[in-house]
Amino acid sequence: MGDRPNGPVMVAMSGGVDSSVAAAILQEAGHEIVAVTMKLWGGESDTGCCAVSDVDDARRVADQLGIEHHVFNFGDDFERDVVAPYAADHAAGRTPNPCIECNRHLKFDRLINRAEALGFVRIATGHHARIVPTARGSRLARGADPGKDQSYVLHVLDQSVLDRLVLPVGSMTKTDVRRIAADMGLRTATKPESQDVCFITNQHGRASFLGDRIPLRPGTVIDTEGHEVGSVEAVELVTIGQRKGLGLAGGTDPRYVIDIDPASAVVTVGERSSLDTASTRLESWRWFDEPSTGSVDVQCSAHGVPARGQIDVVTMTVRWDQPHRRIAMGQSVVAYSDDMVIGGGIAARP
């Protein structure tokens, strides 16, 4: 945003240390800021960023900084655009990324629309990613701290969002963020990291949550030759690469889930080598700049190690340079050139 104020900034404060420091940095730079916290999940939360205590923490940090704080209730939107699709994906045998859908629909759609309606020219968050100006416009790049980089979960943001977004901590390490918070005496300085899925509690777990929303059906486990070798209590809870909870007889070599057929409630397992594949089918792929015809870095989970592969949009596949572990259907696949996000899509059924 430069060194001089450029209109009011709405800072999304989750109640964590990153967004707290983001607000403090912008205030110190002389920007007119207002803090907002999105109330998204109305149920129990003990692992994520939507607990009542998080709203309280955000409010108290705003009080420390002497800035206005407001709470926006987007609970109905969250249920419709994140929670309901999460349950539906599991019913269809997919492994969804609810945090990505929350970013897509809530944090960078509903929030930006609300900000514009209230006269804010920019929004800011505490995400660890960077926005880089290029000849073709703003582009998303990895954060400075490799261990905290969140560009993967932000890859769905388009040009219009990036042009209005400020990421004050993206060029800092997490250690630097906590040091600044401690130096300022912010109450969130030592607050633990939140987990990904805010609506799944440690106490009740995913099975209980989904069981209240979709039918959970027992499934049959077969090997690659079609022999029945085990069973699962709910095929909707199984994911590619899973090893435990498959009802397999002891004393055999480890076997992993290599395919799930939700229609027939059949799970196929194989040896570790059976997880390797030469290509991965894609859906909903889009390039954010010029299409790349050569090998690029491809990341398939929030903190996964990128692998080299070529994106073929004619056949809608990633052709891996080296055999790659199968990716669960529904997971995001994000392409990078150096540290910059250049494309993204979703893994489809093999």
Active site residue 198: yes
Taking the domains of the chain in order of start, what are their residue ranges?
9-184, 216-270, 276-347
This prediction's pTM:
0.91
With CA atoms as reference, report the closest residue to 320 among 331, 309, 312, 329.
Answer: 309
Q: d(Cα 298, Cα 320) in Å, to the nearest integer?
A: 9
What 8-state DSSP symbol labels residue 216? -
The length of the chain in residues reads: 350
Equal fold, 216-270 vs 276-347: no
Active site residue 102: yes
What 8-state DSSP symbol labels residue 279? E
With CA atoms as reference, report the closest residue to 292 among 327, 334, 237.
Answer: 334
Confidence of residue 25 (pLDDT cuts 50, 70, 90): very high
**For residue 43, pLDDT beyond 90:** no
Out of 3.30.360.10, 3.30.930.10, 3.40.50.620, 3.20.20.70, select the CATH number for domain 9-184. 3.40.50.620
Mean pLDDT of 291-317: 94
Instruction: Please identify which of the residues 50, 99, 102, 300 carries the catalytic annotation.
Output: 102
Half-sphere exposure of 267 (CA within 13 A, CB side): 32
Out of 1.10.150.110, 2.30.30.280, 3.90.1150.10, 3.20.20.150, select the CATH number for domain 216-270. 2.30.30.280
Confidence of residue 197 (pLDDT cuts 50, 70, 90): confident
- Sign of torsion, CA 134 135 136 138? positive
The pLDDT value given to residue 2: 42
The pLDDT value given to residue 4: 39
CATH superfamily ID and name for 276-347: Translation factors (2.40.30.10)
